[in-house]
Amino acid sequence: MTYLRLFWEFFKTGLFAVGGGMATVPFLKNIGLATGWYSQTDLMNMLAVSESTPGPIGINMATYVGFTVAGIPGAVIATIGEVTPSIIVILIVAAMLTKFRNSKYVENAFYGLRPASSGLIGAACAGVVLQVLLRVTSTAVPDSLFMRFSWDGTVSWMGLALAAVLLVLTNWVKLTKKWHPIVFIGLSAAVGVVFRFGGV
Amino acid sequence: MNEYLDLFGTFAKVGVMTFGGGYAMLPILQREVVEHKGWATEEELMDYFAIGQCTPGVIAVNTATFIGQKHRGWLGGIVATLGVVFPSLVIISILAGLITNFSHLAWVQNAFAGIQVCVCVLIFNAVLKLLKKSVVDKRTAAIFLIVMAGSLFLHISPVWFVVVSAVAGILLKNLEERAAK
């Protein structure tokens, strides 16, 4: 039953996440909330590993989440679930390539889809910033439409400082902004170990 | 049969060499698929890549399916896709197993706490990059803000935001054309 659910959840992710690997994050967050298979912190760790290993991020994420839920069979099923809609959609599009490219409807739909996809990733971003830096956790409330936010009264000052440095290095310093994300992930891991970011 | 093996092998190679997002894949595809194998022209590759970006799913998979089906029909599309995801399956399964075994260690927990801060910044940068391409006027800015607030504060599947905004895009553009006439 878990396998079937896993396939279905990732099938939906593959069908509705538009704009590459990062666009799958809000969907994965939603799967975690709805099923309780993994926490938001687990998801962030999976995202970090997916960015630091070979292979497309979206596929790495699907494999990792699937593995976390149900071992190697889970990894295979989640990945196949995520690529199945792609294969179907692309085979259809390929069959009517010129029609697709010149379609007004497709173009107009994407006019609305693109900012929505950015908005979903923006919300995922706000969620992780709240949780990691400001220690505000959001949880789904059963039978309610709204998320519940709770704050333990502390702020991660060291985290904020590291985030500020990384923001500058990845956006404004000419030498470092072309570096691959894995370099910054490695640096952050080292800083985390030296300054005991986990508090242990 | 050999043709399919060749497709699988070539795309597995592309999968291993793609480090990061779909955009990192383009130069590798150019070398392997256009220059070495001649399965598509440079122009075709650019077309596939552009369509791969705006159709649902992972860009790398969409592009692989496209090239595979052009070379060997629908079965070729499936084989190329299986090839591009194969290295991820192997590498991540091994790593995930290892990490699960070591996650109780203090330094591993501290390292991941540091990495989480980096993930915040990486996602933030991804949003900035996407904003430049997707928010082109006041209406797209409104869609962005509404979806972002809705997704943050409400417990609804992202599927609804995607479906409703696609319909909104078509309606808004239709209204605009009617107003122009």
Interval B71-110: pLDDT, tens: 999 999 999 999 999 999 999 999 999 988 888 899 999 9
Q: Do B92 and A27 touch (CB under 8 A)?
A: no
Q: Do A75 and B89 touch (CB under 8 A)?
A: yes
The verdict on A164 and A135 lying in the same domain is no
* A161/A158 Cα distance (integer angstroms): 5
The count of structural domains within chain A is: 2
Q: What are residue A56's DSSP bridge partners?
A: B20
Place of tokens 């085979």: A91
The verdict on A130 and A175 lying in the same domain is no
The verdict on A127 and A164 lying in the same domain is no
Give the other-Cβ count within 10 Å of B74's Cβ. 16
The verdict on A143 and A168 lying in the same domain is no
**Backbone phi and psi for residue A164, each to the nearest 5 degrees, phi listed first:** -65, -45
The verdict on A166 and A67 lying in the same domain is no
Place of tokens 């099938």: A11
DSSP 8-state code for residue B55: S
* A145/B112 Cα distance (integer angstroms): 32
* B100/B97 Cα distance (integer angstroms): 5
The verdict on A50 and A123 lying in the same domain is yes
B27 Ramachandran zone, left/alpha/beta (phi>0; psi -120 to 50): alpha
> In the prediction, which pLDDT does A29 show?
92
Element (H, E) at A147: strand A147-151
- What type of residue is B69? Q
Q: Is A1 on the interface with B (CB under 8 A)?
A: no
Q: Is A87 on the interface with B (CB under 8 A)?
A: yes
The verdict on A125 and A40 lying in the same domain is yes
Give the residue numbers spanning the domain of A83. Answer: 2-151
- What type of residue is A69? V
Q: What is the mean pLDDT of residues B58-70?
A: 91
Q: Is B87 on the interface with A (CB under 8 A)?
A: yes
- Closest-CA distance of chain B to residue A191, Å: 6
Which of A117, A134, A151 is at the close of a domain? A151
The verdict on A43 and A137 lying in the same domain is yes
Considering only the beta carbons, identify the residue of B53, B91, B168 that sits closest to A112: B168
- Closest-CA distance of chain B to residue A1, Å: 21
> In the prediction, which pLDDT does A100 show?
79
Give the whole-number percent of chain B exceeding pLDDT 70: 97
Residues of chain A contacting B78 with CB distance shorter than 8 Å: 87
Residue spans per domain, chain B: 2-134, 135-181
- The one-digit pLDDT tens for each residue of chain A (200 residues) are 799 999 999 999 999 998 778 889 999 999 999 999 999 889 989 988 888 888 888 999 999 999 999 999 999 999 999 999 999 999 999 888 778 778 888 889 889 988 998 898 899 899 889 988 999 988 878 788 888 899 988 899 999 999 999 999 999 999 998 888 888 989 999 999 999 998 88
Query: In which band, very low, low, confident or very high, does the pLDDT at B121 lie, cut at 50, 70 and 90?
Result: very high
More confident residue, B180 or A168: A168
Helices (H), chain A: 2-16, 25-35, 40-52, 57-95, 97-102, 104-132, 157-171, 181-194
Cβ proximity of A112 and B144 under 8 Å = no
The verdict on A185 and A146 lying in the same domain is no
